[in-house]
């Protein structure tokens, strides 16, 4: 299922039309204001304290951001156009623009998608789901066992949309088994995308926004965050926020009577709704795939010991997964699952983030903010609040990071805050995007289920967001202040 989050958002909001797509009056006004600002910035001599490259960068960024928010044009097309404009005006070189697509983190994501295709083809996901949820005896146990399983998928499947696609058949099987308890089905429909989105922070490959953050930090500060270090910082937050969210979903979407009834899901019931075996000995392809995946994850986690880059480990794993003798999927079929549009979008927005940093535009934007007089805890609180709310304007997680992280890194330097802590907090907080069906692809996917499966309504998302948004923001803030300093990221 292909779903454009930005176009869905415009269909929901209604209003005037642009190229046949509804546009609200507020969006149209914002678009006109942005065009006026771009015109002013493009005129030489305006804002004398701003260098030419910085002025051009701000103009391109303002135009691109408003195009992402208020037009039906594809997000990737806008990002590529912005990258080309920055190159044509000399803000960044062509080597910088094209080099981002060859970045090691992009190759890591490509190879991870090949591994994910092998896992999906083998049937391991269904077997693991049956093993976990089969042990549930109550609704609360079912919710937290499902949450644990979804958190674990962050190690096997890159990007939230890929994890949602892998988890959808498992959810549909559970929905058919629980068909006589509709409220539980609706609760699980909301639980799946909620946990998928919040647990993405567990790994570097969990979201494209993470790769943009790592790239901006490297270009701005020379700080390199590898797979193992991100895992050390992100996994505890992912586990805590996912299980916290699971409790919130359970309490907001069900009544006491719904939670009191026993739950019994057997492997035989799940087997009726999946073509792959969920019990018995592992088949040869399943055993090979499980061994390969476990080895790759261990090598990723052991990067500080063996010094082999994660992208090289992923490439070795991808070649083994697609090999004629040992693999479970053909390379051609695996590569067809790679979201090339997403990779191009990431590469272009990484180039835009580099332009914000090297041109001095980011530093100029934050130069008027209070400097060292702001307490670090207050600075982080503002960053986290803005990052949490940013999904209401920019539906793309990668776009949010490409806009916010360079500004956050520059502002952190002015405020005397560790840029790594600020960038990580912003990226983690931006993982909350549950307010509208169009706010994230997993939310959209589970909001439009096949076969008349019960699912949530927009009002359910709003009710959940009112409770979950401040809780997750506070949790990120607590981790940045109290947990990450213990793990090597001082404030």
Residue 147 · residue 243 · CB < 8 Å: yes
CA separation (Å) from 72 to 10, 29, 368, 398?
A: 8, 16, 34, 18
The helix or strand, by DSSP H or E, that contains position 230, with its residue range, turns out to be helix 227-253
C-alpha–C-alpha distance, residues 357 and 423, integer Å: 14
Q: Regarding predicted confidence, which is higher, 77 or 280?
A: 77
| Biggest CA-to-CA distance, the chain | 74
The pair of structure tokens assigned to 253 is 């979407």
Per-residue pLDDT tens digits for 394-427: 777 887 888 888 888 888 877 888 999 999 999 9
Among 37-41, 327-331, 451-455, the range with the most confident prediction by mean pLDDT is 327-331
Contacts for 271 with CB less than 8 Å, ≥ 6 apart: 130, 277, 278, 279
C-alpha–C-alpha distance, residues 155 and 297, integer Å: 7
Q: How does residue 31 score in pLDDT terms, banded at 50, 70 and 90?
A: low
Burial class of residue 275, CB neighbours in 10 A (0-12, 13-18, 19+): exposed
Q: Is the pLDDT of residue 54 over 60?
A: yes
State residue 69's pLDDT score.
Answer: 73
Q: Is the pLDDT of residue 475 over 80?
A: yes
C-alpha–C-alpha distance, residues 32 and 52, integer Å: 23
Q: How does residue 3 score in pLDDT terms, banded at 50, 70 and 90?
A: very low
The pair of structure tokens assigned to 423 is 């960038």
Per-residue pLDDT tens digits for 478-491: 999 999 999 988 88
The helix or strand, by DSSP H or E, that contains position 187, with its residue range, turns out to be helix 182-198
The helix or strand, by DSSP H or E, that contains position 21, with its residue range, turns out to be strand 21-23
C-alpha–C-alpha distance, residues 297 and 302, integer Å: 9
Residue 199 · residue 431 · CB < 8 Å: no
Q: How does residue 236 score in pLDDT terms, banded at 50, 70 and 90?
A: very high
Q: How does residue 271 score in pLDDT terms, banded at 50, 70 and 90?
A: low
C-alpha–C-alpha distance, residues 425 and 271, integer Å: 41
Q: Torsion-angle region of residue 159: left (phi > 0), alpha (psi -120 to 50) or beta?
A: left
State residue 315's pLDDT score.
Answer: 92
Q: Is 22 helix (H, G, I), strand (E, B) or coil?
A: strand
C-alpha distance across the termini of the chain, in Å? 42
Residue with token string 């083809």:
121
pLDDT (average), residues 86-100: 89
C-alpha–C-alpha distance, residues 351 and 158, integer Å: 21
C-alpha–C-alpha distance, residues 57 and 373, integer Å: 29
Q: Is the pLDDT of residue 4 over 60?
A: no
Residue 187 · residue 141 · CB < 8 Å: no
C-alpha–C-alpha distance, residues 348 and 357, integer Å: 15
C-alpha–C-alpha distance, residues 92 and 83, integer Å: 9
């Amino acid at each position: 299922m292909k779903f454009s989050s930005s176009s869905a958002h415009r269909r929901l909001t209604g209003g005037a039309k642009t190229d046949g797509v509804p546009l609200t009056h507020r969006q149209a006004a914002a678009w006109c204001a942005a065009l006026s600002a771009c015109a002013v910035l493009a005129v030489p001599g305006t804002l004398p304290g701003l260098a030419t490259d910085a002025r051009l960068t701000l103009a391109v960024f303002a135009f691109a951001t408003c195009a992402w928010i208020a037009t039906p044009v594809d997000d990737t097309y806008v990002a590529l156009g912005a990258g080309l404009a920055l190159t044509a005006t000399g803000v960044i070189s062509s080597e910088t623009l094209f080099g981002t697509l060859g970045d090691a983190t992009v190759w890591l994501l490509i190879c991870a998608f090949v591994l994910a295709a092998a896992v999906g083809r083998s049937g391991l996901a269904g077997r693991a789901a049956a093993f976990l949820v089969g042990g549930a005896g109550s609704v609360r146990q079912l919710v937290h066992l499902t949450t644990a399983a979804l958190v674990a998928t962050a190690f096997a499947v890159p990007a939230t949309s890929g994890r949602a696609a892998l988890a959808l058949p498992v959810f549909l099987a559970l929905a058919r088994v629980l068909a006589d308890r509709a409220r539980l089905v609706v609760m699980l429909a909301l639980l799946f995308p909620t946990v998928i989105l919040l647990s993405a922070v567990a790994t570097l490959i969990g979201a494209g926004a993470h790769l943009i953050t790592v790239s901006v930090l490297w270009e701005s500060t020379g700080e390199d965050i590898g797979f193992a270090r991100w895992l050390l910082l992100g996994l505890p937050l992912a586990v805590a926020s996912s299980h916290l969210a699971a409790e919130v979903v359970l309490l907001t979407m069900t009544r006491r009577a719904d939670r009191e009834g026993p739950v019994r899901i057997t492997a035989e019931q799940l087997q009726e709704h999946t073509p792959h075996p969920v019990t018995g000995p592992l088949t040869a392809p399943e055993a090979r795939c499980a061994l390969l995946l476990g080895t790759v994850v261990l090598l990723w986690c052991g990067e500080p010991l063996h010094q082999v880059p994660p992208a090289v480990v992923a490439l070795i794993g991808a070649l083994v997964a697609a090999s004629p003798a040992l693999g479970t999927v053909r390379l051609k079929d695996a590569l067809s699952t790679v979201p090339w549009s997403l990779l191009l979008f990431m590469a272009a927005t990484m180039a835009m983030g580099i332009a914000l940093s090297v041109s001095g535009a980011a530093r100029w934007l934050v130069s008027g903010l209070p400097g060292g007089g702001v307490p670090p805890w207050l600075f982080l609180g503002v960053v986290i609040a803005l990052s949490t709310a940013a999904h209401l304007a920019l539906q793309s997680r990668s776009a949010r990071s490409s806009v916010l992280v360079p500004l956050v890194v520059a502002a952190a330097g002015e405020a005397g805050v560790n840029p790594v802590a600020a960038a990580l907090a912003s990226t983690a907080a931006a993982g909350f995007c549950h307010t509208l069906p169009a706010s994230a692809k997993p939310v959209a996917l589970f909001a439009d289920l096949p076969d008349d499966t019960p699912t949530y309504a927009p009002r359910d998302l709003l009710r959940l967001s009112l409770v979950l948004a401040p809780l997750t923001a506070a949790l990120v803030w607590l981790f940045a202040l109290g947990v990450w300093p213990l793990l090597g990221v001082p404030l």
